[in-house]
Amino acid sequence: MNFKAGGYDQGYKEIKVYWGPDARCRVSFPTAIAPVPTRRFGIQPVDYHVLTSPFHYLVGQAAVDLAEPLTLKDRDWILSDEWFATWLLGLSLSSGGVDQGVFPVLGLPTNFFTDQDIQMVADRVLGVHKVQREGYPEQTFTIKDCRVIPQPYGTLLSLGLTHTGKQGDPSMFGYIGIVDIGGKTTNYLSVKNGMNMVAGESKSITVGGWNVVQELGAWIDDTYRGLELNVHEIAQVMQTGTLSYEGKSKQVSAQVAEIAEPFARKVYTEATHLWNGGKGMDEILITGGGSLLLGKLVRKHLGRGTLVKDPVFANAMGYYNFARMLQGKGIGVS
């Protein structure tokens, strides 16, 4: 049996899966599950995902659109149905086969990167998993080995390694800081001398891009009565600084900046404290889906930093590159 490399970025707000450089070899969906309603009807086909085995749940966008998602977002989340069901959907979507070996690499928030938490993830992932989605045949996945690494390492490995697992940008092996702004958390990672983690300069805080989206959403609700925007539409307002109300375009960039500033300040203040401003670092990388909302402000206040080109998938891409590197050494291939 061949074992397929895969990068699985299990975020609190969104799941990202990456299994190759082809544009078709990536998928993302909201981190959400919900019980399948007893009454369902639709006219136009929509690619909603319904797990029928080993759970019976709406997963991803279907849970957000059609029901009330279940939520459990704490350290025990890894033990929840939500974590496992979204993990299984990621497996299913990344394979067109019905019997597949997989060698996955996953990430943990920097603060949770402990032997106990690594083992918790491995216990959930390893083994033989049978998965079925509504309208599709049952799939069997065999996982004999996996790797769990600090989440921000993915971005570093997306640049420092190629898709074949060979060395990429040599500058990534210096003294590097990574600011990984997610939906609910921001992870900081410092590495030196060949990508070795500096534990005292690495941590997590509970600030992310979705904090800004929630605040902006509340302001929009109060200011533009009757305008109902979902979180993705609010995020778009943040990026463009405009919204449409009663058929007219409204400029809200000043309000967006005012709302985002306190959250960006928390992110860059922590980086400054951890790294003494990062003056001695060779490079600071700003990544994660939340960097699309806060990255420019954080860079402005840090006075330096590179906004990663593909911040949403950068971690998952790096996990894949790492899996390919290990497979090149005979690990995770059988």
C-alpha to C-alpha distance for 233 and 199, rounded to whole angstroms: 37
CATH topology of domain 3-108+110-150: Nucleotidyltransferase; domain 5 (3.30.420)
**Could you say which DSSP state residue 108 is in?**
E
Residue 294 or 65, more confident: 294
Domain chopping of the chain, boundaries: 3-108+110-150, 155-208+261-312, 210-255
pTM value is 0.92
Confidence at 81, pLDDT banded by 50, 70, 90:
confident
Cα 7 to the chain's mean position, in Å? 11
CATH code of domain 155-208+261-312: 3.30.420.40
pLDDT tens per residue across span 272-327: 999 998 889 999 999 999 998 899 999 999 999 999 999 999 999 999 999 999 99
Long-range Cβ pairs for the range 264-270 (8 Å, 24+):
264/294, 264/297, 264/298, 264/301, 265/301, 266/205, 266/207, 267/179, 267/181, 267/186, 267/205, 267/207, 267/294, 267/298, 268/179, 268/297, 268/298, 268/301, 268/302, 270/186, 270/188, 270/203, 270/205
